[in-house]
């Protein structure tokens, strides 16, 4: 559900911190992303009891532990299908998925397009550091060929995936990109994503100082450029052009694309209603139906 439809509470960013200690390495960009999530939740006034945080496996997939919310830490790459099921079963909750480049685009690479094309009503924040961090530094689908990682000591043999183009091609209805070193911008993009009704995708570049020595904070600062102020966010062609990067290879930072389309839960509810069934989550109706 878009958080716009939920009742609001007045909480500070620190109020969303769980009792679990954050265990990421010093200097990891994920600290900045987590703070952006806390800030976005506070500004949106999200009640913990209306929030479900879901992840797969990886350093970034630890995020739900650090947020006060309902949560599920699922299998490697499978956050998407679990989150889809959770959203369909409980369309009254806001669903937030967090995960990394390996989890989302390698092991879970078969799930991303379907969440996008079905317009599942949830927010997916992908932390991209171009490496597998938790499993100690293997080459990922977004690694640059220059990266000498554990599994590619002489550099990589292939070109990195372009996640923005991938998501735009498959029909995501909200696509944005940020950088962990710009937490305020990330918070705004996450906030917009959680307000959006439909599949909202926020791609965030992040440094992994422990295993990726080329995608540094300095590298990302040079890489990103603000989306032009006159960019039309309803124009798919223009969004794809930005996602392809400019002549100097700069990556866009900001909101690229946003349109309204019926969501998967709305379409399923319409079908259920059409055939005379009961659609939607209503605990009293479910109890009534279960009565002998
Ligand atoms: Fe962050 Fe990398 Fe450490 Fe994982 S291994 S916590 S991604 S710096
Ligand atoms: Mg990674």
CB of 127 closer than 6 A to ligand 1?
A: no
CB of 208 closer than 6 A to ligand 1?
A: yes
From ligand 2's centre to the CA of 106, what distance in Å? 10
Planar angle of CA 244, 246, 250, nearest 5 degrees? 95
For tokens 């390996």, what's the residue?
102
Structural domain contains residue 155? yes
From ligand 1's centre to the CA of 42, what distance in Å? 26
Nearest C-alpha to atom 5 of ligand 1 is from which residue? Answer: 133
For strands 251-258 and 70-73, give the pairing: unpaired
| CATH number (domain holding residue 67) | 3.40.50.970
Q: Identify the CA nearest to 174 among candidates 83, 114, 238, 256.
A: 256
- Report residue 65 CA to chain centroid gap: 16
Each residue of 74-120: pLDDT tens digit?
Answer: 999 999 999 999 999 999 999 999 999 999 999 999 999 999 999 99
Structural domain contains residue 148? yes
Q: Is the pLDDT of residue 275 over 80?
A: yes
Contact by Cβ (8 Å): 16, 58: no
Structural domain contains residue 5? no
CB of 131 closer than 6 A to ligand 1?
A: no
In this prediction the pTM is 0.95
Q: Are residues 25 and 141 in the same domain?
A: yes
Contact by Cβ (8 Å): 194, 3: yes
Structural domain contains residue 73? yes
CB of 205 closer than 6 A to ligand 1?
A: no
For tokens 């532990």, what's the residue?
65
What is the total count of domains within the chain?
2
Q: Residue 174 is part of which domain span?
A: 13-259
Q: Are residues 178 and 86 in the same domain?
A: yes
Q: Are residues 174 and 219 in the same domain?
A: yes
Structural domain contains residue 7? no
CB of 138 closer than 6 A to ligand 1?
A: no
Which positions ≥6 away from 45 have C-beta within 8 Å?
A: 8, 9, 10, 11
- Report residue 213 CA to chain centroid gap: 24
Q: Are residues 53 and 169 in the same domain?
A: yes
Each residue of 212-266: pLDDT tens digit?
Answer: 999 999 999 999 999 999 999 999 999 999 999 988 999 999 999 999 999 999 9
Q: Are residues 185 and 269 in the same domain?
A: no
Q: Are residues 74 and 213 in the same domain?
A: yes
Q: Are residues 243 and 270 in the same domain?
A: no
Structural domain contains residue 111? yes
Q: Are residues 277 and 235 in the same domain?
A: no
Q: Which ligand is nearest to the CA of 180?
A: 1
Q: Are residues 271 and 285 in the same domain?
A: yes
Structural domain contains residue 172? yes
Alpha-carbon distances of 287 from 10, 224, 281, 282, rounded to whole Å = 32, 52, 11, 9
Q: Are residues 172 and 267 in the same domain?
A: no
Q: Are residues 162 and 229 in the same domain?
A: yes
Structural domain contains residue 245? yes
Number of H helices, E strands in the chain: 10, 8
CB of 59 closer than 6 A to ligand 1?
A: yes
Spatial separation of the C-alpha atoms in residues 75 and 103, rounded to whole Å: 9
Alpha-carbon distances of 196 from 140, 158, 191, 199, rounded to whole Å = 29, 35, 9, 8
pLDDT at residue 274 in the model: 85
Q: Are residues 242 and 287 in the same domain?
A: no
């Amino acid at each position: 559900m878009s958080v716009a439809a939920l009742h609001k509470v007045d909480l500070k960013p620190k109020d969303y911190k769980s009792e679990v200690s954050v265990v990421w390495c010093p200097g990891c960009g994920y600290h900045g992303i987590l703070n952006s999530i806390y800030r976005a939740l506070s500004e949106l006034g999200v009640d913990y009891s209306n929030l479900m945080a879901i992840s797969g496996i990886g350093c970034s997939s630890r995020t739900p532990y650090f947020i006060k919310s309902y949560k599920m830490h699922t299998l490697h790459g499978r956050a998407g299908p679990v989150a889809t099921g959770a959203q369909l079963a409980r369309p009254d909750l806001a669903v937030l998925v967090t995960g990394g480049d390996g989890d989302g685009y390698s092991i879970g690479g078969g799930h991303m397009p379907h969440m996008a094309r079905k317009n599942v009503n949830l927010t997916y924040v992908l932390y991209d550091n171009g490496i597998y961090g938790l499993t100690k530094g293997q080459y990922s689908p977004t690694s640059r060929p220059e990266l000498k990682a554990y599994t590619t000591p002489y550099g990589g043999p292939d070109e990195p995936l372009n996640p923005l183009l991938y998501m735009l091609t498959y029909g995501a209805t909200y696509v944005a990109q940020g950088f962990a070193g710009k937490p305020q911008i990330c918070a705004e993009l996450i906030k917009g994503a959680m307000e959006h009704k439909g599949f909202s995708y926020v791609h965030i570049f992040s440094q992994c100082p422990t295993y990726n020595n080329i995608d540094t904070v300095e590298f990302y600062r040079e890489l990103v450029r603000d989306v032009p102020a006159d960019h039309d966010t309803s124009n798919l062609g223009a969004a794809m052009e930005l996602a392809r990067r400019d002549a100097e290879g700069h990556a866009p930072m900001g909101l690229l694309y946003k349109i309204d389309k019926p969501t998967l839960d709305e379409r399923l509810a319409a079908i259920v209603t059409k055939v005379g069934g009961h659609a939607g989550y209503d605990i009293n109706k479910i109890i009534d139906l279960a009565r002998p």
